[in-house]
Amino acid sequence: MLDWLYDIVGRILVWIHTGLTFIGFDTDSGWAWGLSIVLLTVLMRLLMVPLFVKQMNTQRKMQDIQPKIMKLRERYKHDKERLQRESMKLYQESGTNPIMGCLPLLLQMPVFFSLFSVLRSVAEGNARYGFDEELVESARAALIFEAPIAAQFNSSPEELLELGASDPIMAKVIIAIACVLMGTTTFLTMRQSIKRSISQMPDNPMMQTQKIMMYMAPLFGLFGLMMPVGVLVYWVTSNVWTMGQQHFLYRNQPVAGAAQTKNEGNGSAKGMLSRKKVAETTPEPKEQPKIERKQPKKQSRAKRTGGGSR
């Protein structure tokens, strides 16, 4: 059913590989095929940058209307249908579409499954999805640090040798390391996103669920044991790109509350500096000479009354 999509992804991969071999890479090398997958991932992510920016704007708008949503939940807590209608009305009035928050991830999945299907077809020796017989044999022979690009961790030693691995044990070690990298980068990417979400909406009722998913992210590495090495390269590259992209955009679009606090802090610091500067430039008042007034000496009572001697 999705053969047309698999064919598009396969042909783009072949075009990138052809371009790399044209500039001097060895046709059958793992560098040529591995870099082709990396560039395919980068190309796909570049096309999705506008969607990611729109996702961030959607999250900011949802943060702004969160107090209104909470009021609606409190007002219509016993009327679910009315709550849904009023919430959708509020989203429409504010120009917010909650689906945009998930759209970049949803659009990545078809490319992921397409690449998985293309590499599985290559591992089986099928000339499909833009690959001819020569390209299939070239991709099957490509090694990334002794691991065939179309091999999986559960591949038998005979299959690994057939795919071109010189040392099946080392090939499995390389695949296991790639799976660990996959789980680690997935965890770091989700942690970065959830920290941003917490700063935006501390009272988000889904926060606990998101944290559970974040701590389960390293388990994604176990799924990598069933994926071809090329798919693992795609996944790790995509995660690294996401971390860099989120860091750049989050830094240039800080959370509203954090930005306000920072501005207030800067304002307070500037105020303190200005007051200090005024205090330094204001001349100290000169000390006025002390005026001493001479008081008459106090006489004894006998002298004042004149009865000192009789």
Q: Which tokens hold the place of 64? A: 């702004």
Q: Which tokens hold the place of 82? A: 């009315």
Give kind and range of the element (H or E) at residue 185.
helix 168-200
Q: Which tokens hold the place of 291? A: 């005026």
At which residue do the structure tokens 């955009």 appear?
249
pLDDT for residue 121? 85
pLDDT for residue 278? 46
What is the per-residue pLDDT across 195-244, written as a single tens digit (0 to 9) for each?
776 665 555 555 566 667 666 767 777 777 888 888 888 889 988 988 88
Better-predicted residue by pLDDT, 6 or 268: 6
- Taking alpha carbons only, the member of 224, 208, 223, 214 closest to residue 187 is 214
The DSSP code sequence of 32-50 is HHHHHHHHHHHHHHHHTHH
163, 245 Cβ separation under 8 angstroms = no
* C-alpha span between 68 and 155 (Å, rounded): 55
Q: How confident is the model at residue 309 (pLDDT cuts 50, 70, 90)?
A: very low
Q: Which tokens hold the place of 183? A: 């789980």
What is the DSSP-derived secondary structure letter of residue 227?
A: S
What sign results for the dihedral spanned by CA atoms 68, 69, 74, 76? positive
> N- to C-terminal Cα distance for the chain?
140
